[in-house]
Amino acid sequence: MTSQRTRERLIQRLYEEGVSNAKVLEVIRRTPRHLFVDEALAHRAYEDTALPIGHNQTISQPFMVAHMSELLLEAGPLDKVLEIGTGSGYQTAILAQLVERVFSVERIKVLQDRAKERLVELNLRNVVFRWGDGCEGWPALAPYNGIIVTAVAPEVPQALLDQLAPGGRMVIPVGPAGEAQQLMLIVREEQGFSRRVLGAVRFVPLLNGPLA
């Protein structure tokens, strides 16, 4: 189930669902998603579905990973991206192959430790990790040309808006946990922020406070 043919079927499905960025599709094609899920679920790794990774978290649906990555890169290459929610490390691995540097924050330490191991195994070395509260971002290294948030916030955290560079782009799901949520693209412009609603989504909630 982790064969090249299985992966090609997934890529074809993503293309049919509207993902058109050739570089994003190629990175997803060559990234072994089965390494980012429990062995018992490896046979489902190339289905276009979210899967549990423990600690009430999930590895995002491949379409959502591709879609959010594509939106982030829509205006051209990025050199410095902040990821809120390392999780399994799969979205991190995809970003690491698309942008120059990734700075990834995760509140659940055991998840981030596993993600680090997976990225080392894949020889992806342009990622720096921080264990901490994602709602706060990573102000010490701001600003960022791109911010991607992989958990839903009831509203866009002001700290993340503050850390977005002029012209920078943020992709974030917004709404109440477990209810109607919307994916948003926010761009920092000369006079404030523009916001674009991109459709309904479902994500785990963005929570405060780190967990060991």
Residues annotated as part of the active site:
60
The β-bridge relationship of strands 80-84 and 144-149 is parallel
Residue 26: how many other CB atoms lie within 10 Å: 13
The β-bridge relationship of strands 164-174 and 144-149 is parallel
List C-alpha distances in Å: 200 to 9, 74, 212.
Answer: 25, 20, 32
